[in-house]
Structure 1
Amino acid sequence: MKTSRESGTGITVRHGQRERFGKWAFGQLRSFILYKATMSGVPVLFVDPRNTSRQCSCCGNVDRKNRKSQSEFQCVQCGFSLNADWNAAINIASRASINTPIAV
């Protein structure tokens, strides 16, 4: 497998598109989103993204084997099956709702 170490990123290259996105400055994107949201009065919640694509949104089990393919998620513990992106989105939304303070 070829890597793009020549450019200093060390990101594994499988397709041209992945290499292009691998060079994207996510820190800069985060700064832009925060800046624009603040200017518009929109609250921003930062959620820890670790294991969101490996965690079952039904039972909470985290296992690398839960990902059957890039697009398919099936929990090895409870058998829950869903599109991997939907499952990760549910996990992110759940983490955001848990860490959100309630204004009184």
Structure 2
Amino acid sequence: MANNNTTTNKVKKPIINNDEALRMITLIQQGDSQAENDLAELGSVFIKAVAKQYAGKGLTAEELIAASSHGLIRASHKFDKSRGFTFAAYAVWWMREAILQAIHKKKITKEERI
């Protein structure tokens, strides 16, 4: 009997290509600002996935994506591949931290206006 379910035959693609990210991180750490843009483009699905987890917490979708992207770039400057982590595993902490800081900053700003 043939399997008609096409979704079972798909291979799950990693959310960010670690080898390509490492190549860009090397360039970023050498001062290549274009590589920052390239990394953000490469990780756009990853950036949006992390940002989506914080929907409804006080920031617009655009603000969440911007904060998540900022965290990804910050992580690229600090990443040390000799420690044995994948870049995505390392970057997610920085991305969440940037989002939480942006949420906190917006709450403080709102309280000051009241």
| Shorter-chain TM-score range | 0.3 to 0.5
Larger relative helix fraction: 2
State the structure with bigger RCO (CA 8 A, min sep 6), 1 or 2.
2
